[in-house]
Homo-oligomer: A and B are copies of this chain.
């Protein structure tokens, strides 16, 4: 579809200038074009560039004048930046834009793994997290997750020492688009979705437990 339009566009270019003058879209249409280009562009656009992008015979300067008027007093305004033009939100509404200013950083691997264990095994104690990860969990990791409001303290465990447990929050479910932690896919599903190596690791999917050296043996008990 785009190709077709392009073709027509090129045809017009090859014809005489006077013809393309007649072809030039009405100014209202040109205004729409400028509006769309300025909106989608990632930087201010010069009149010259507008001219290059719009059909022949267009008068971007004229269209800009109309558009500028249209946006007067609106939440958005058309401003000149050097030799170029850009749409910007009205300065008096800047206070509404606070939410946009947060710097987003990727979580550390340790934090992701800890979070995953809590999500899959909640309620889970710190000792259990360490048992599963095989390394100790730093204080900062837990703190960070709590501060993000992705985990919170759960019920204490009824075991010696009555350790606290961790569970995930509603905030966590919202962020990851989950209805409940039970909706997290299981290992089998992770594997079939291609998120896991297909090779069943030793000790998985079989009842006889840990580290057997013999692969054939293990296979007997893998239901697939």
A residues sitting closer than 8 Å to B (CB atoms) are 2, 5-6, 9, 31-37, 39-42, 49, 53-54, 73-76, 87, 89-90, 93-100, 126, 138-143, 146, 152-156, 163-164, 169, 177-180, 182-186, 189, 192-195, 198, 207, 211, 213, 220-221, 223-224
Given contacts A31-B75, A32-B73, A36-B90, 6 further A-B contacts (CB under 8 A): A2-B95, A53-B99, A54-B96, A153-B185, A163-B189, A224-B224
- A166 nearest CB across to chain B (Å): 10
Measured CA separation A66–B58 after assembly (Å): 31
Other-chain residue from B6, B36, B182 in contact with A93 (beta carbon distance below 8 A)? B36
**Copies, count:** 2
Q: A95-B2, A179-B155 are in contact. Are A39 and B89 (CB under 8 A)?
A: yes
Q: Is the CB of A96 within 8 A of B155?
A: no
**Across the interface, which residues of B come within 8 angstroms of A194, CB to CB?**
138-143
Q: A53-B99, A223-B220 are in contact. Are A36 and B185 (CB under 8 A)?
A: no
> Nearest CB to that of A35 among chain B residues?
B75
**Across the interface, which residues of B come within 8 angstroms of A189, CB to CB?**
126, 163-164
> Nearest CB to that of A52 among chain B residues?
B99
